[in-house]
Amino acid sequence: MISVFGSANMDLVAYVSEAPKRGETVTGQRFRTVPGGKGANQAIAAARAGARVAFLGAVGDDGFGAEMRATLSEAGVDVRGLRQVPGSSGIAHIVVDDAGGNSIIVVPGANGTITGPSGDDLAAISRSRALLLQLELPMEAVVAGAQAAQVAGVPVVLTPAPARPLPAELVGAVTTIVPNEHEAAAITGVTGAEAALEALLEQVEEVVITLGSDGALYGSRSGRRLRVPAVKVKAVDTTAAGDTFVGALAVARHSEGMDMADALRFASAAAALSVQREGASTSMPTRIEIENSMP
């Protein structure tokens, strides 16, 4: 089983020809609501890629919360660890342009009430093959989750987004960190993916830097280095492509024990499928789709 301790947001997605600049108003083409949040996205991605998945997080007592719970459950995710708290669920306001690029504003809502894993969460984490974490929960909760997994001997996979300074107690509990190129630069202060990878390896055992259409770069403290090309496709919407990559990578690497090179190819194929579809959770491919698309 893979556990995901993270955020659940309702994505409010506006599609435009070109994203507005500061002070500018543009006319949108259409609008939709899609269950998302980096934690929920990674849970759904991992479940669709073939793993048993438990989601640990919180939603509000509003309609968005009920819809997100239903979406996770329908994807095969165990939602017994999804708390309901008074107030609003988290939301993400997303603008997607015709080139498939996006900009996102996240309002934490119920996610901001989580200060750490509950007793039931700790039990789920201890039974897991890996714990997936992101930075859309309060930092104290993320640190507590990572340390609980470390104590239980469970690998911790961290997506450091939104990018922010990482406390030493978090970094010390992380097994694999998976930033994109911009996040890697923001965390390390180093320009260039290769240089950022080396800087991150001073803190973490394994590093995967996602490079969008340029693929992914991997390094470990053992000295192994890999560069895996992306599957060439026309992007429609890149929302949650990184979460799809991480969810699929965790399945391949930790649930199934694939060699890292094969796991990266599996994750890249999953991400390539997701960018050809609109939305976050709605864009994530099934196991059969991933296998059929691998080069």
Q: Is the dihedral of CA 57, 104, 107, 13 positive or negative?
A: negative
Measured CA distances, 264 to 165, 203, 226, 274 (Å): 26, 21, 9, 15
Per the residue annotation, which of 11, 78, 121, 243 is the catalytic one? 243
- Report the sign of the C-alpha dihedral through residues 112, 118, 124, 129, in that order: positive
Instruction: List, as own/partner pairs, every contact residues 205-209 make where C-beta atoms lie below 8 angstroms and the sequence separation is at least 24, other chains included.
Output: 205/174, 205/175, 205/176, 206/175, 206/176, 206/177, 207/176, 207/177, 207/178, 208/176, 208/177, 208/178, 208/249, 208/264, 209/178, 209/179, 209/180, 209/181, 209/184
* Nearest-angstrom CA–CA distance, 58 and 82: 5
Distance of CA 32 to the CA centre of its chain: 21
120 catalytic? Reply is no
Which residues participate in catalysis according to the annotation?
Answer: 243
